[in-house]
Amino acid sequence: MSLMAGMTVAHGDEPSADWSPDARHGELAGPRRAGAEAVQPSARLAKFHVPEIVFGPGSLAEIGHCALRLGGRRPFLVTDPGLIEAGWADEAIGHLRRAGLRPVLWHDLTPNPKDHEIEQGFQRYAESGADVIIGLGGGSCVDAAKGVAILSGNGGRILDYEGVDRVVHPIPPTVMVPSTSGTGADVSQFAVVTDTAEQIKITIVSRTLVPETSLIDPRLLTTMPGWLNAATGLDALTHAVEAFVSRAHNPLTDNHALHAVRLIVGNLPRTQVRPRDFDARLAMAQASLEAGMAFTNAILGATHAMSHQVGGLLDAPHGVVNGVLLPHVIRWNAQVWPERFVPLAEAAGIPVEGMPPREAAQRLADRIRALADDVGVPRGLASLGVAESDVPRLARTTLKDACMATNPRELDVDDVRTLFHEAL
């Protein structure tokens, strides 16, 4: 498989298999070519692709204007029963109608959107004559909205688009309104879909999936249940950590990743015990945004590749699985590139001055595990339903996941099995 569309490479857009961590500098070594000197890290090109971002309390009121600017007349609003019950769907519909639009509501979704649900959503979209597609909700709603958009512009079945750059035709304009502080789907080039026949999650990566607009209203975060707040917060933390150590990181992604770590470590526990603490909610909304901007451009790593397999098998909350796996993956990756974890440890509040890099990485892993304990995440995958007998299959499918391409350490199937066993 080719490297990600979102990877940063030297000399324009040509990917190279020669990217490798330089442990002395915490940078990527440039590709070498016949007749050309290696490009120094400071000279590497850095791409940074993000949507228009509308951020702040009350910004949901802008949803009609966002759709109008994209040529909307009959927007297709993808949401779920929880958002309807919380009143956010009605508020969004009201704003759309006040802008002179005629929205179509579709909400036949379950968590971790399924292939057949997305295909049914597309049928509803096609029958309704809708245009702009709006995703209102958590990552499941946003991914489902992207899936409907993919099928509208490209046809076929949603599973046909697994992998990198398979979405070759334009899709309808999209506006995403996240209701959780963690998935980053509202700014990313990713869509994750459950293959119900194979019981795995597939990853679709395409720059066409970066929405035109991300509309982030922190008010929506206050109606999340506690378990979802914990799960999405740990998902955002995993995005930030994996983006920072990714083979495709760059200075632009680094700054957002480190700031997201600071915000999450300092504010996620506060949102658990004081759900209406608006300063903490505002900080977590920004953390989710910054982690999302980092990972959509730097991509991710082994934690997400493994987590997708568990989620597909058990329909388990993605962020919870990340929270279990991340400390194990940090320790594994730090065996070959510990220096890269020192800034992350410092961002997490660990005093790293004079500390050996391997110890800093270990302290970071311990700090993340302690944070997961604080917000009520289980300590092992077995408590989520993963059995010893599942490990061989999970390991095999992990290696096919697109997120493995940018993990800083190469892993084979035996390595992945070892990590799953450690995390049980």
pLDDT tens per residue across span 30-68: 333 333 333 334 456 788 999 999 999 999 999 999 999
Q: How much is the average pLDDT of 194-211?
A: 94
Q: What tens digit of pLDDT does each residue of 93-139 get?
A: 999 999 999 999 999 999 999 999 999 999 999 999 999 999 999 99
Percent of the chain with pLDDT over 70: 90
Domains recognised in the chain with CATH numbers: 52-221 (3.40.50.1970), 225-423 (1.20.1090.10)
How far the first Cα of the chain sits from its last, in Å, is 29
Quote the distance between the C-alpha of residue 75 and its chain's center. 25
Give me the pLDDT at residue 294, please: 98
- Rounded CA-CA distance 318/401 in Å is 15
Q: How much is the average pLDDT of 346-369?
A: 97
- Rounded CA-CA distance 101/123 in Å is 21
Lowest mean pLDDT, pick from 43-57, 85-99, 251-265: 43-57
Return the number of other C-beta atoms located less than 10 Å from residue 160's C-beta: 14
- With 0-12 / 13-18 / 19 or more C-beta atoms within 10 angstroms meaning exposed / middle / buried, residue 314 is middle
Parallel/antiparallel/unpaired status of strands 21-22 and 27-28:
antiparallel
Please report how the helices 226-245 and 357-374 are oriented relative to each other, as an axis angle in degrees rounded to 10: 160
- Rounded CA-CA distance 40/36 in Å is 12
Give yes or no for residue 7 having a pLDDT over 60.
no
- Sequence-separated (6 or more) residues with CB below 8 Å from residue 217: 56, 57, 58, 59, 60, 177
Give yes or no for residue 207 having a pLDDT over 80.
yes
User: Average per-residue pLDDT in the chain?
Assistant: 90
Give me the pLDDT at residue 328, please: 98
pTM (two decimals): 0.89
Give me the pLDDT at residue 44, please: 66
Quote the distance between the C-alpha of residue 13 and its chain's center. 23
Give me the pLDDT at residue 46, please: 80
Return the number of other C-beta atoms located less than 10 Å from residue 53's C-beta: 15
Lowest mean pLDDT, pick from 9-23, 112-126, 360-374: 9-23
- Rounded CA-CA distance 29/22 in Å is 6
Give me the pLDDT at residue 281, please: 96
Give yes or no for residue 26 having a pLDDT over 80.
no
For residue 339 the two structure tokens come to 């220096």
Give me the pLDDT at residue 273, please: 94
Give me the pLDDT at residue 326, please: 98
